[in-house]
Amino acid sequence: MKRQLVLENGASFIGEGFGSSSEMKGEVVFNTGMTGYQELITDPSYCGQIVTMTYPLIGNYGINRSDNESARPSISGLIVKEVSKTPSHWQKEKSLSEWLDEYDVPGIEGIDTRKLTKIIREHGTLRGKIVSADADPSAVAEQLKKWPLPTDQISRVSTKSAYVAPGSGARVVLVDFGAKQGILRECIKRNLDVVIVPYQTSAHDILKLNPDGVLLSNGPGDPKEVPEAIDTVHELLGKVPLFGICLGHQLFALASGANTVKMRFGHRGVNHPVKNLRSGKFVITSQNHGFTVEPESLVGTDLEITHRAINDGTIEGLRHTKYPAFSVQYHPEASPGPDDSQDLFDEFLSMIESNKKEGASLA
Ligand SMILES: NC(=O)CC[C@H](N)C(=O)O
């Protein structure tokens, strides 16, 4: 069935529908990953967004039972040049199209994704809607212009109640703003005793759990939409070692007095080079963010920049100079993407260990 993608600037692309045939709107963003579509489609950080893949053939290894980063797809729509008609992999359980249909996510293929990506690069991310091919694009564009982007994504994807992933190692409270399973997997691999809590959990309630460290997860939307979480992180600073990932990094920066701003089109993909300013080493990272910490806002704070993106020089890592706390804008848990940065979880554990020793020597 022919379908249409309409952007708020009036641009329209006609393609062939796959997945669900419902109409869906969202912020249109692009991802440069060549593989890892199942992980990114289920990454809760994409909640409310329509994702266009710059790699031209998507779906060729189907959908399997081990690549989900959350229980269901989070995206509002998928745009591709070509969706594979002959997916093949020994773990394949269904096709991308069947799976998206089950979860009511529309897809559209046959789109000139290079042209679309260039529009997004020039104008910044745009609101868009997948509609029927005969809809009037200017009417849809007018409607889109008036549509305020959603602000409630974190409350939609965060866990509703606390749960545990028990282990015999250090106790870590993972604050769930829409956490990817990969983060939990890295904790379980290290035998941590993890308590996963909803995003509105107060600092008081987090500290009552006696954590050795607190991990602030990734999550969708603007970090400033959850001011209560910024206050919580502020209260936790200096009381317990902190590690922030992506949205967690942005909340850590805001809680330390810095500012975040929206980027023109963000970073999304599995091939973003980052420089570690302390070691001088480069890593290839997995990224998915549309906001960034404003460098000028670090003046007067106790934050030090530890990592920078090679492509555009934006901040990719921070560390607190007084308290045991650090963060990265990218995804050390990969899922999808390279495993170059998994040592950051070990760094967090070392921070927890030395903090314990310091606490013991002060007692
Ligand atoms: N993956 C994330 O945690 C993304 C953080 C935030 N929603 C952003 O887009 O910048």
Instruction: Domain ranges for the chain, please list them.
Output: 2-150, 154-362
Q: Is 219 in the pocket of ligand 1 (CB under 6 A)?
A: yes
Q: Is 329 in the pocket of ligand 1 (CB under 6 A)?
A: no
For 110-169, how does the pLDDT look when each residue is reduced to its tens digit (9 = 90+)? 999 999 999 999 999 999 999 999 999 999 999 999 999 999 999 999 999 999 999 999
Q: Was 288 annotated as part of a binding site?
A: yes
Give the distance (Å) from ligand 1 centre to CA of residue 3: 29
2-150 against 154-362: fold identical: no
For 267-301, how does the pLDDT look when each residue is reduced to its tens digit (9 = 90+)? 999 999 999 999 999 999 999 999 999 999 999 99
Separation of alpha carbons 293 and 319, rounded Å: 13
Ligand 1 atom nearest residue 263's Cα: 10
Edge-to-edge order in the sheet of strand 260-276: 163-165, 193-198, 171-176, 213-216, 242-245, 325-328, 315-320, 303-309, 260-276, 282-293
Quote the pLDDT of residue 358: 84
Instruction: Name the CATH code of domain 154-362 (choices 3.40.50.2300, 3.90.380.10, 1.20.120.550, 3.40.50.880).
Output: 3.40.50.880
Q: Is 221 in the pocket of ligand 1 (CB under 6 A)?
A: yes
Is 47 a known active-site residue? Answer: no
Give the distance (Å) from ligand 1 centre to CA of residue 305: 18
Give the distance (Å) from ligand 1 centre to CA of residue 286: 12
Q: Is 218 in the pocket of ligand 1 (CB under 6 A)?
A: yes
Is 246 a known active-site residue? Answer: yes
Name the pTM for this structure: 0.97
Q: Is 247 in the pocket of ligand 1 (CB under 6 A)?
A: yes
The CATH number of 2-150 is 3.50.30.20
Q: Which of the residues 8, 246, 249, 307 is marked catalytic?
A: 246
φ, ψ (nearest 5 deg) of residue 67: -100, 5
Give the distance (Å) from ligand 1 centre to CA of residue 21: 28
Q: Was 247 annotated as part of a binding site?
A: yes
pLDDT band, residue 362 (cuts 50/70/90): low
